[in-house]
Amino acid sequence: MKLRVFNVGQADSLELIPSHNCKFQGKSILVDCGWGNKDVFPALKNNKISLVLSHSDKDHIGGLINLLNSNVTVEDLWLPCYSNEIVKIANFLLSIKGVSAISSRSRSVLELNNVIDGYRFLDSIMRTKRCNNIRLVAKGDKICRHTSVLNPPLDPDLALGIEPGASEKYWKEQQNSNYETIRSWLTPEEFEKQWPYLISEGHIKSFSEFMNFTNFNPDFNSLGFDRRMRFIYGFFSKYESLIDDFVNSGDSRRFTKIVKELKLTSNDVSVVLKYKLSTKHDDFSCLLTGDVGKKQLANCVSDLKNEKIKIFKFPHHGSANSLDRNVLKKLSPEIVVVSHNNRTYGRQIDPHPSKKVIDALDKLNIPTAYTNDVIKNGTVVKNKSSTNPHKHVEMVEI
């Protein structure tokens, strides 16, 4: 067994190469594919892959563009169960009152369009590559007997971190008030456009036509209409006052805050995979975490009971928002992998990986493999890893 970590800058792309004891023997499991500025596909060990896209951020799915001209065959595609709903919310936010006055080149507007365009592009690629085995995954799913999904939760309230029942309550309140709050956020014309996608029970067909997600419909339908709607209305209930403030003020800073919360929500519903294979000759385990936050990571590790993990991919390029020292102690990994390139996130001053994360790993004496030199205030404080920092890990330059 081997985990290959590609240096794709401030992005993620990892290749799992299963052994002969796994049903995926002879093909790779590729988790994310970077920005696209570096092409991981020629570097893969196998031309047949199962592709996991942890979530919708461009630094995880942008590399799909390189798939078109490759000889790689995607036999399976796994996505987080609320991918569709993240896209719908992004589309909705672009339609609320006041957004038209914000520059189309503003970061917040571009980020929302990237979410929508990314999944349109994904559908186009999957149809070109004729990948028909597309699956939305949630906590509790087993992709094979060695691969378990620990996140996102299937329950929308858990996925959003809101009170149990809050999403359904808000949805019913909107129905009973003839969607008074939703209407207040949209012009009458936009409300009519959004109706099939966010309100009407007929939105399943309408939205699939809008997004052209021809291959994805069976999986989206199996998730359940109620769950999907509860996720959307749960997000609205959680950030109702923030959206109200923006609609009433037109303050672009408040819109930026809304978009940030959607990005954090998208991070928190990242696919988290545990792969574990034990034989008389070898013992391999890894936890691949997308960009999940601290709370979601703690929930995942809690589900592992007292199970130890040999290889831990630190979430979100070493963000302090994902740091939980108790999680690190409980996992007690033999090695931590941090995929990064010293970029800041939002208004943060300390680039990823955070100094807090580096200090915590050092204090716990956990060996750590960094894809690039870690630079703080112009000084290299940690060197990039060697090619083989662990018997099960290979760091790959492309």
The per-residue pLDDT for range 349-373, each reduced to its tens digit, is 899 999 999 999 999 999 999 999 9
Question: Contacts for 36-39 with beta carbons within 8 Å, 24 or more apart?
Answer: 36/62, 36/63, 36/64, 36/65, 36/66, 37/8, 37/9, 38/6, 38/7, 38/8, 38/9, 38/63, 38/398, 39/63, 39/66, 39/70, 39/398
Q: Are strands 14-17 and 142-144 parallel, antiparallel or unpaired?
A: unpaired
Residue 123 has pLDDT above 60, yes or no: yes
Residue 129's pLDDT is: 77
Matching residue, tokens 């036999």: 75
With cut-offs at 50, 70 and 90, classify the pLDDT of residue 228. confident
Residue 207 has pLDDT above 80, yes or no: no
Mean pLDDT of the chain: 90
Section 291-313 average pLDDT = 95
pLDDT cut 90: percent of the chain above it: 75
Mind giving me the DSSP string for 367-391?
A: -EEESS-EEETTEEEEPPPPS-SBT
Section 285-298 average pLDDT = 97
CA 103 vs. chain centroid, Å, equals 27
201, amino acid identity = E
Residue 200 has pLDDT above 90, yes or no: no
**Candidate from 128-142, 162-176, 177-191 with smallest mean pLDDT:** 128-142
Judge contact between 59 and 12, C-beta under 8 A.
Answer: yes
Residue 212's pLDDT is: 42
Residue closest to 389 by CA, chosen among 310, 315, 282: 310
Residue 209's pLDDT is: 43
User: Three-state SS for 270?
Assistant: coil
Section 176-193 average pLDDT = 93
Matching residue, tokens 């959004």: 194
Distance CA 198, CA 216 (A): 18
Section 345-349 average pLDDT = 76
Residue 130 has pLDDT above 50, yes or no: yes
Section 180-195 average pLDDT = 91
Q: Which CATH architecture has domain 272-383?
A: 4-Layer Sandwich (3.60)
Section 170-192 average pLDDT = 94
With cut-offs at 50, 70 and 90, classify the pLDDT of residue 132. confident
With cut-offs at 50, 70 and 90, classify the pLDDT of residue 219. very low
With cut-offs at 50, 70 and 90, classify the pLDDT of residue 125. confident
Residue 24 has pLDDT above 90, yes or no: no
**Candidate from 105-114, 203-212, 257-266 with smallest mean pLDDT:** 203-212
Residue 348 has pLDDT above 60, yes or no: yes
Section 309-314 average pLDDT = 98
Judge contact between 34 and 62, C-beta under 8 A.
Answer: yes
The per-residue pLDDT for range 6-21, each reduced to its tens digit, is 999 999 999 999 887 8
Residue 199's pLDDT is: 64
DSSP H or E segment with residue 132: none
pLDDT cut 70: percent of the chain above it: 93
Give domain limits for the chain.
272-383
